[in-house]
Amino acid sequence: MLRGFEKEDHADLYAKYRPHYPIEVVNKIVEYAQGNKADGKLAHMVDVGCGSGQSTLLFASYIKKITALDISSSQIEQAKKEKRPENIDFVVGCAESLPVDDNSVDLLCSGQAIHWADFPRFWAECRRVLKPDGSMALYGYDMPHVVPVDCEQTGIDFKNEARQLTMELVKSCKFHERIDHVNNKYVDIFEIIPSRDKSRDDSMKITRHLTLSGVGKYLSTWSGYQTYLRERAPDDKSPDIVRNYLDKLKILYGRENSDDSDVNVVVTYDVFILFAKRPE
């Protein structure tokens, strides 16, 4: 599994500013997994690429035991900082070598992470660890749509213009090519899942109410931005790409003289979920 999000300060930013999935996402995943099982009970779940444990926690009341793993020790340490339910075990591990027994898992999940995996090895591990009636759910969210809160009142549609600025920022970042899987909502990954029983859901969204200051802090968690910072020459005098993006949004909104913390915005993300039974 490719590495990222490993520095301690990056893990802290990730925990504070990454968006949270609505509970409806968890309900759909659990409902799918329960429907595949004769008794409807989910005893053991594995969460691959759990990060700081944000989405893992949402499953805690539905599953008897959860093994949550991430390749980053900093992310796992971050996940362990807060008091967590006793049925969740956070461990350092990777998608290609899951630290669980054969035929022991009812549900294998991965939120916004599986695009970093070595797919053939990951499918083989899923086949090994999932019970015959076990299920997979691979999910995530795409790039944000950022509009001012008073957009509807002004009668102006900022969505397309703001989206164009966001994609310009994406191009300025130093993302690994695997991020293309996120940008196309895992369409390519869905095609290569080696299961004849698979489906997807694109009906849900994440909605957040932030200031532009909060948007900037969220953008600072992007792996492509962190790589941009690491590779930026010390004598580079050009504007920081996130700062430049926020300034362009303020001009678009007619708020160029306002402080970031005074510009309230609604940020939405399209959520996608891939469902599949145990790989064949």
Read off the pLDDT of residues 54-84 as tens digits, 9 standing for 90 and up: 899 999 999 999 999 999 998 899 899 878 8
Bridge partner list, 147? 266
Question: Are 115 and 182 spatial neighbours (Cβ–Cβ below 8 Å)?
Answer: yes
| Model pLDDT, residue 17 | 78
| Model pLDDT, residue 100 | 97
The helix (H) or strand (E) run that includes residue 267 is strand 264-277
The predicted model scores a pTM of 0.89
CATH of 8-142+178-205+271-277, one of 3.40.50.150, 3.40.50.720, 3.40.50.2000, 1.10.600.10: 3.40.50.150
| For residue 151, pLDDT beyond 90 | no
Nearest C-alpha neighbor of 90 from the set 203, 11, 143, 169: 11
Q: What φ, ψ does residue 9 adopt, rounded to 5°?
A: -70, -30
Euclidean distance between CA atoms 114 and 237, whole angstroms: 36
pLDDT > 90 fraction of the chain, expressed in percent and rounded: 78
Give the mean pLDDT of 90-109.
Answer: 97
Per DSSP bridges, beta strands 264-277 and 205-211 are: antiparallel
Euclidean distance between CA atoms 211 and 240, whole angstroms: 19
Nearest C-alpha neighbor of 242 from the set 55, 20, 17: 17
**Residue 193, CA distances (Å) to 49, 132, 251 in order:** 18, 16, 44
| Model pLDDT, residue 4 | 47
| Model pLDDT, residue 2 | 47
| For residue 156, pLDDT beyond 70 | no
* One-letter identity of residue 97: S
Q: Where are the domains of the chain?
A: 8-142+178-205+271-277, 145-173+209-265
> What DSSP designation does 235 have?
T
Q: How far apart are the first and last CA of the chain?
A: 21
